[in-house]
Amino acid sequence: MKNNNNNPNNTNNTKLILLHPYILKQGSSNRLWILAFISLFTLIFLLTLIYTRDSFSTSLNSSSSSSASTATTIGGAVVTAAHAVMSGGAAQYALPKNVMSTLLHYSSNANTTEKMQLSETKTISDVLRRCTYPCNFLVFGLTHETLLWRALNNHGRTVFIDENRYYAAYMEEKHPEIEAYDVQYTTKLRDYKELIASVKEQAHNECKPVQNLLFSECKLGLNDLPNQFYDIDWDVILVDGPRGHWHAAPGRMSTIFTAGVLARSKKATARSGKTHVFVHDYNLDPQRVSSEEFLCKENMVENNGMLAHFVLERMDENCFEFCHSKKNSS
């Protein structure tokens, strides 16, 4: 048997694989292309992200500026509208003139002797119509014209003060839109001269023309009204109460004095430094004398006999004279 290992023609079974350099170069080139593609994609993504962010910021800033401009414009319109209302735009809140004329007509032609004449109610209604919105109207006395005053000042606040608690409660129950309060008067009409003289003596103390009457002990000062009333800046005050012109009646000295103090004690932040004060039955001596002392002739703008119209301005708290003319004459 022949040995195959000795056969010179017999070759080794080991195989040798040769790789051509082109193949190696081709593999490296593919990896480079892949790397370049990934880098390019990453760069494009970053550029897109940066551009989108800048565009969004620009759009947001533009939107904010536009909103701010719009808000400023709208705010300006609101301020302008508010200014128009506060500086004489009361007419848009007042009743139409024909409605006011109708109310005045029927009120003055009612079948009662306890009423104001048309010329008197019209004088007051004209002031209410021009009153800065919202108008604060204080009325001493529940009278035939109570519902008229409430209607004429329909968008403002109208408050009634009466000496009869039962009648005040009755009016509020019958007319829920009415705001009425009662007060107890301690004065007597027969003492009006002495009371006025005592106030003049205490003008530097308890009866100062500028003060918070809530803490006053002045004989003619009303200090038992609801506390909030002394913080309200009243635009119009009507003195048509308390009732009665006999000697034991309370008289209107207290209401006239109180009206004068409330008008002069307006806050510096009030919409208007002026207050219109009307005194009905001015032809009677107690009303006339009290008005001359505490409301002053120099402040009178109209007097038709029964109704006197005064316009008082806010006064410095360091002033102790009700009337400048009396100070100069003295």
Which amino acid type is present at position 246? W
Q: What is the Cα–Cα distance from 104 to 280, expressed in whole angstroms?
A: 17
What integer is the mean pLDDT of 25-30? Answer: 56
Neighbour order of strands in the sheet with 236-239: 179-182, 157-162, 136-140, 236-239, 274-280, 307-313, 300-303
Domain boundary pick from 40, 56, 87: 87
Between 85-89, 95-99, 115-119, 219-223, the lowest mean confidence (pLDDT) is in 85-89
CATH number, position 144: 3.40.50.150
Q: Is 313 helix (H, G, I), strand (E, B) or coil?
A: strand
Model confidence at 68, pLDDT cuts 50, 70, 90, reads: very low
- Tell me the torsion sign for CA atoms 85, 89, 92, 96: positive
Between 81-90, 122-131, 186-195, 198-207, the lowest mean confidence (pLDDT) is in 81-90
Task: Please check whether residue 10 lies inside any domain of the structure.
Answer: no
Q: Same domain for 217 and 279?
A: yes
Q: Render the burial of 4-30: b for 16+ CB within 10 Å, e for the rest.
A: eeeeeeeeeeeeeeeeeeeeeeeeeee
Phi-psi region of 256 (alpha: psi -120 to 50; beta: other; left: phi over 0): alpha
Domain that holds residue 263: 91-329
Q: What is the Cα–Cα distance from 162 to 240, expressed in whole angstroms?
A: 10
Q: Is the pTM of this model over 0.75?
A: no
Q: Where are any strands of DSSP class E within the chain?
A: 136-140, 157-162, 179-182, 236-239, 274-280, 300-303, 307-313
Q: Same domain for 36 and 125?
A: no
Q: Same domain for 253 and 105?
A: yes
- The tens digit of pLDDT for each residue in 282-300 reads 999 999 999 999 999 999 9
Q: Same domain for 228 and 313?
A: yes
Domain boundary pick from 42, 63, 87: 87
Q: Same domain for 189 and 289?
A: yes
pLDDT at 65: 47
pLDDT of 45 > 80? The answer is no
Domain boundary pick from 46, 67, 87: 87
Cα-only R_g, the chain: 44
Task: Please check whether residue 6 lies inside any domain of the structure.
Answer: no
* Chain centre to alpha carbon of residue 251: 35
